Amino acid sequence: MFDENGKRIIGYIGGGCIENRVAATAKETLIDGIPRTVEIDLDSDQMDMGIPCGGYM
C-alpha cells in the first residue's frame, strides 16, 4: 500500500527497482486517477535483478 506521495506505507512487493517502479506508478495513478497494470519481467537484462528464480510479475 502506498500513500499519496507514492511512498510505501505497508507491505512488500519485491524490493529494489521493482518497489520503486510500482511506487512511481501508484503515485501517477493517484494523481490522474487512471488505473494501470505494472508488468515486470524478472529475467530482463534491464531489471538487472540477479534473481535466480526469474519469472514475471
- Residue ranges per structural domain of the chain: 1-57
CB atoms within 10 A of CB 40: 17
In this prediction, residue 35 carries a pLDDT of 95
In this prediction, residue 41 carries a pLDDT of 79
CA distance 1 to 47: 22
- The structure's pTM equals 0.65
Residues 6+ apart with CB under 8 A from 57: 14, 18, 38, 39, 40, 42
In this prediction, residue 6 carries a pLDDT of 66
Residues of the chain with pLDDT under 50: none
Name the H helices within 16-56. 16-32
In this prediction, residue 10 carries a pLDDT of 80
